[in-house]
């Protein structure tokens, strides 16, 4: 194993009185796919910009492949920023070629690589098309290809799925897996937790500038524990009703029939036990579901209802959390 | 260097591939050609017009003829003066002088076809023609003395052409003087005789003894060319800076609105990015200016080739351009001035999100740029003015004024000191502009945040 592609050691960044990133420590080992999760404003992009040396931390240290971020080291990194941007009057081929050359490829290699990537991604017929003439999704594809053109050892993707339709999201997921299979280490931020669940072998969760979780998916689900969801008629206090029976209930943010509650299950108890206790307590039950643990629930349990609500609000309609 | 080249290449090609660039490139020569052709056509196509003077004798008519003859003589004199400043063979000198003494008259006097205005009306309105040396034509104008003899009335259908009337006014003024002199018992050409006897005031230039032996003291174009060249250089710098405002502002806004900085800054250093961009805009404007300059040189060479010995007209200017005492400080001032102004504009552009926002900045920038223009104007009129001396120490003016002062041999210590001031100012602006650019491009600071950017910058320094 070589040097870890990224190490952030107690990094803090403030903007005036606002602390965007607070004492973040993070290590990305070689060959990993790591999901960097959190709602908008959690400090993910600022952390990534510090990791790349675009921004300097107020305290703490960052190293890329064992060195402070500098242009020579960054040649091994491919970065897709959250705010997409390309030169609108350049053609797709010239765009990929330009960014590949900036990363060190010769003119001939850059051109050949641009053509190869465009053909491979189904944009071959748009080689000579200006970016301004492309759809938003196609332009985004071109930017992703520009990020991959120099075959980087380490890919940092800031919200790569944002703005893509489901088909292109799937294509991007495949692309990320292919890059990983090629040997690239991948760190990507997202607030869409399904992508992280499908792609990552490790996740880092951020909330309000702080790291709230860093571990494998198994760790995350174990941390959550088992649970069940019971919906009751509005106004009924299920927590009070179940407390004497030894179950802990919390209001869940689910929208639906009645009030939703999440019941934490102690070791040795099952969802049916919780349902039985609720019936015995005279709860006006309108819905019941054994809980299938999702990253969102892990996140809710780690950061609380307020941040979880922010996460829900920030997620565009149609995107599962 | 590779990164600077790549940024430069992309930006340069981005600009020159745009239609606007080629339109701008073609517009100046095109307008010069059209303007020149139009002026030449207007001069050539201007019709020869007939006029008449109604009088019993020929006093007024002779006076007007004499006025035209005097104009012809003046043109000949100017040609002779010009020939004196040129290195010509005797044959070329004769050819040049003779080519200028036969101007074609645009007004020809013909005998009046009638004496009363009512009878002249159909001729003046073109209903009837009069005969003259160029065939039958309408009568353009007629002069008729008023019944009381107090005025010489000018009648014409076309009151927009005043040249003939002005000639007549001058002629009448001169005639009145001659009559007054005659009544006083003096010769009619008394004033001309007096003027001719006045002491001449020939211009000489004091030179070192060594130079005196080779070039004499006579003032030639070689003495004036360095001033013209330095004015040209200063104006060229001004024009270049004026032209780059939009390129730098708009180019930076495009990148800021395209959110492209993060991608770029993970591939190149900020300093490389700025250097590449500044060079690209410099190259774009240079391409335009050099193209225009080559066009102007080509047309000048063509024009001078049409004049006998005309090549010698250009040689003093080319010598001045090749003079290291002018061109070296000129080029240094030029480059430092470009960096100073260019970085200011680029930094301000990085703080703008929209073209509208940038447009609000254009007015103060134009005003900032008009100040050096005024200084150039004053320096051209009076390079020794104390105002220019003082202004040349103010860094925003120094690049222009040092160039203008060079032909007047300012003390060497002043040249060095002013260059140092420019270099220090350029370095300071470069440093500050880089910080502002970083704040705008990376942190998204706007124009309103500029005060805060400087405050943080200096408080951090103090801290």
ipTM of the complex as predicted: 0.73
Instruction: Over range A197-212, report the average pLDDT.
Output: 84
Output the average pLDDT for chain A.
Answer: 82
Picking from B17, B18, B266, the nearest residue to A74 by CB comes out as: B266
Largest CA distance in chain A: 76
User: Residue A242 — very low, low, confident or very high, per pLDDT cuts 50/70/90?
Assistant: confident
The whole-angstrom distance between B17's CA and the closest CA on chain A is: 9
Please list every residue in chain A whose beta carbon sits closer than 8 Å to the beta carbon of residue B263. 79, 81, 85, 99, 143, 146
User: How far is Cα of residue A223 from the mean position of the Cα atoms in its chain?
Assistant: 19
pLDDT of residue B155: 93
Look at residue A318 in the predicted model and tell me its pLDDT. 33
Judging contacts by C-beta atoms under 8 Å, the chain B residues touching residue A62 are none
Q: How many other CB atoms are there within 10 angstroms of residue A267's CB atom?
A: 6
* H or E stretch at A18: strand A18-28
Closest residue, chain A, to B254 (C-alpha): A87
Alpha carbon of B419 to those of B334, B337, B363, B380, B440: distances in Å?
A: 11, 10, 29, 21, 30
- Residues of chain B with Cβ-Cβ distance to A81 below 8 Å are 259, 262-263
On the question of pLDDT at A111 being above 60, the answer is yes
| B409 vs B314: CA distance, rounded Å | 23
Q: What would the pLDDT profile of A3-37 be if each residue is shown by its tens digit?
A: 888 899 998 988 878 888 888 888 889 888 998 88
List beta partners, residue B143: B53, B154
Question: Which DSSP symbol is given to B127?
Answer: S
Question: What distance in Å separates the CA atoms of residue A50 and residue A301, rounded to the nearest whole number?
Answer: 28
Task: Give the predicted TM-score (pTM) of the model.
Answer: 0.70
List where CATH 3.40.50.300 sits in chain A: 6-220
Range A226-292 has CATH code 3.30.70: yes
Q: Do B6 and A98 touch (CB under 8 A)?
A: yes
CB-nearest to A89 from B14, B267, B268 is B14
| CB of A102 less than 8 A from some CB of B | yes
Count of CB atoms within 10 A of residue B355's CB?
13
Query: How far apart (Å, rounded) are the C-alpha atoms in residues B311 and B74?
Result: 24
For chain A, give every residue range classified as CATH 3.30.70.
226-292
The dihedral through the CA atoms of A259, A260, A263, A264 has a sign that is negative
- Tokens matching residue B60: 């007024």
Choose among A158, A103, A97: nearest CA to A128.
Answer: A97
Spell out the residues 6+ positions from residue A100 whose beta carbon is closer than 8 angstroms to its own: A109, A110, A113, A114, A146, A149, A150
Cβ atoms of A103 and A149 closer than 8 Å: yes
Size of interface A-B (CB pairs under 8 A): 62
Q: Which residue has the higher pLDDT, A308 or A85?
A: A85
Per-residue pLDDT, B309 = 65
Report residues of chain B scoring pLDDT below 50.
101-102, 462-463
Q: Which residue has the higher pLDDT, A253 or A64?
A: A64
Render the burial of B282-320: b for 16+ CB within 10 Å, e for the rest.
bbbbeebeeebeebeeeeeeeebeebbbbebbbebbeeb
Instruction: Tell me which of B384 and A314 has the higher pLDDT.
Output: B384
Using an 8 Å CB-CB cutoff, list chain B residues near A93.
none
Class level of CATH domain A6-220: alpha beta
- Check if the beta carbon of residue A256 is closer than 8 Å to that of residue A231: yes
Strand, helix or coil for residue B404? helix
Provide the 10 A C-beta neighbour count for residue B228.
15
pLDDT, residue B125, reads: 92
The rounded distance, in Å, linking the Cα atoms of B267 and A70 is 9
Mean pLDDT value across residues A113-133: 88
| Euclidean distance between CA atoms A16 and B154, whole angstroms | 82
- Please answer whether residues A120 and A43 qualify as being in contact, where contact means their C-beta atoms are separated by less than 8 angstroms: no
CB atoms within 10 A of CB B164: 19
Distance CA A112, CA B222 (A): 58
- Buried residues in B5-26 as b, exposed as e (16+ CB within 10 A): ebbbbbbbbbbeeeeebeebbe
> Rounded to an integer, what distance in angstroms lies between the CA atom of residue A230 and that of residue A232?
6
Q: Reduce the DSSP state of residue A91 to 3 states and report it.
A: strand
Cα gap B12→B339, rounded to integer Å: 17
d(CA B42, CA B39): 5
Instruction: Identify the CA nearest to A33 among candidates A207, A217, A167.
Output: A217
> Looking at the partner chain, which of B14, B254, B262 has a beta carbon nearest the beta carbon of A54?
B262
Query: CA–CA separation, B1 vs A5, rounded Å?
Result: 27
Q: For residue A92, what pLDDT is reported? A: 92
Which residue among A52, A54, A86 sits closest to B260, beta carbon to beta carbon? A86
DSSP SS3 for A117: helix
What is the phi-psi region of residue A33: left when phi exceeds 0, alpha when psi lies from -120 to 50, beta otherwise?
beta
For an interface test with A, the pick among B13, B256, B263 (most A C-beta atoms closer than 10 Å) comes out as B263
A59-64 vs A154-158, strand pairing mode: unpaired
């Amino acid at each position: 194993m070589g040097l870890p592609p990224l190490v952030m050691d107690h990094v803090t960044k403030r903007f005036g009185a606002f602390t965007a990133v607070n004492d973040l420590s993070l290590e990305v080992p070689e060959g990993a796919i790591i999901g960097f999760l959190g709602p908008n404003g959690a400090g993910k992009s600022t952390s990534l910009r510090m990791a790349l040396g675009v921004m300097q931390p107020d305290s703490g240290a960052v190293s890329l492949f064992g060195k402070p971020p500098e242009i020579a080291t960054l040649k091994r990194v491919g970065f897709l920023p959250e705010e997409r941007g390309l030169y609108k009057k350049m053609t797709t081929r010239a765009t990929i070629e330009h960014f590949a050359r900036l990363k060190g490829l010769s003119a001939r290699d850059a051109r050949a690589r641009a053509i190869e990537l465009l053909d491979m991604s189904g944009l071959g017929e748009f080689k000579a098309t200006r970016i301004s003439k492309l759809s938003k999704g196609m332009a985004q594809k071109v930017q992703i290809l520009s990020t991959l053109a120099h075959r980087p050892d380490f890919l940092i993707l800031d919200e790569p799925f944002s703005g893509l339709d489901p088909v292109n999201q799937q294509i991007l997921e495949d692309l990320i897996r292919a890059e990983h299979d090629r040997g690239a280490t991948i760190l990507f931020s997202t607030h869409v937790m399904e992508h992280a669940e499908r792609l990552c072998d490790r996740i880092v969760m951020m909330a309000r500038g702080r790291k709230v979780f860093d571990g494998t998916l198994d760790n995350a689900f174990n941390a959550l524990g088992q649970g069940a969801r019971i919906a009751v008629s509005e106004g009924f206090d299920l927590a009070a009703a179940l407390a004497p029976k030894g179950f802990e209930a919390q209001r869940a943010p689910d929208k639906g029939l009645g009030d939703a509650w999440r019941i934490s299950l102690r070791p040795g108890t099952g969802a049916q036990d919780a349902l039985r206790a609720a019936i015995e307590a005279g709860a006006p039950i309108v819905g019941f579901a054994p809980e299938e643990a999702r990253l969102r629930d892990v996140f809710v349990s780690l950061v609380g209802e307020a941040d979880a609500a922010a996460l829900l609000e920030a997620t565009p309609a149609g995107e599962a959390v | 260097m590779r990164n600077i080249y790549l940024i430069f290449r992309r930006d340069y090609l981005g600009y020159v591939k745009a239609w606007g660039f080629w339109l701008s490139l073609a517009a100046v020569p095109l307008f010069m050609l059209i303007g020149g052709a139009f002026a030449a056509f207007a001069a050539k196509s201007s019709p020869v017009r007939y006029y008449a003077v109604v009088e019993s004798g020929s006093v007024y008519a002779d006076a007007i003829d004499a006025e035209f003859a005097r104009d012809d003589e003046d043109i000949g004199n100017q040609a002779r003066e010009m020939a004196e400043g040129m290195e010509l063979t005797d044959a070329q000198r004769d050819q040049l002088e003779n080519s200028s003494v036969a101007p074609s008259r645009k007004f020809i006097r013909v005998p009046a076809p009638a004496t009363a205005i009512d009878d002249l009306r159909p001729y003046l309105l073109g209903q009837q023609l009069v005969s003259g040396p160029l065939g039958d034509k309408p009568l353009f104008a007629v002069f008729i003395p008023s019944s009381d003899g107090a005025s010489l009335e000018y009648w014409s259908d076309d009151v927009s052409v005043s040249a003939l009337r002005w000639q007549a006014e001058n002629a009448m003024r001169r005639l009145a003087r001659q009559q007054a002199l005659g009544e006083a018992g003096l010769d009619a050409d008394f004033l001309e005789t007096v003027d001719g006897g006045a002491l001449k005031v020939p211009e000489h230039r004091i030179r070192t003894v060594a130079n005196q032996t080779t070039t004499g003291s006579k003032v030639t174009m070689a003495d004036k060319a360095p001033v013209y060249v330095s004015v040209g250089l200063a104006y060229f710098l001004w024009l270049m800076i004026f032209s780059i405002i939009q390129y730098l502002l708009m180019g930076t806004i495009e990148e800021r609105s395209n959110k492209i900085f993060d991608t770029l800054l993970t591939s190149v250093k900020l300093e490389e990015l700025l250097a590449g961009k500044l060079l690209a805009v410099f190259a774009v404007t240079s391409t335009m200016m050099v193209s225009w300059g080559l066009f102007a040189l080509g047309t000048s060479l063509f024009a001078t080739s049409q004049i006998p010995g005309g090549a010698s007209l250009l040689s003093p200017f080319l010598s001045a351009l090749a003079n290291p005492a002018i061109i070296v400080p000129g080029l240094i001032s030029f480059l430092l001035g470009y960096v100073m102004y260019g970085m200011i504009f680029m930094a301000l552009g990085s703080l703008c999100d929209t073209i509208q926002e940038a447009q609000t900045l254009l007015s103060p920038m134009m005003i900032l740029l008009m100040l050096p223009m005024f200084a150039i104007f004053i320096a051209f009129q009076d390079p020794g003015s104390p105002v220019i001396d003082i202004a040349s120490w103010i860094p925003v003016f120094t690049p222009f004024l040092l160039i203008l002062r060079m032909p007047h041999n300012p003390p060497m210590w002043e040249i060095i000191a002013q260059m140092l001031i420019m270099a220090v100012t350029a370095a300071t602006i470069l440093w500050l502009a880089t910080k502002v650019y970083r704040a705008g491009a990376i942190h998204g600071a706007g124009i309103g945040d500029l005060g805060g950017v400087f405050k943080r910058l200096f408080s951090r320094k103090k801290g």
